[in-house]
Amino acid sequence: MTVSQKQLLETLAGHFAWLESAHPRKAHRTVARRAKKCVQQSLRKMRKAA
């Protein structure tokens, strides 16, 4: 995984955290939850491989 891909995933994780605090109803939609889960899994895989 490249540095830019890592930064993108970290940025997305930050956006999901902001979404939960600013717009909780939107954050609990199925699409948002699945996307957040996918980003978290990708970050875990990346950290595990390092």
Instruction: For 13-23, write each residue's pLDDT tens digit.
Output: 999 999 999 99
Share of the chain above pLDDT 70, in %: 100
Q: Is the pTM of this model over 0.95?
A: no
Whether residue 46 contacts residue 9, with contact meaning beta carbons closer than 8 Å, is answered with: yes
Residue 50 has pLDDT above 80, yes or no: no
Instruction: Give the per-residue pLDDT at 14.
Output: 96
pLDDT mean over 30-37? 96
Instruction: Give the per-residue pLDDT at 39.
Output: 96
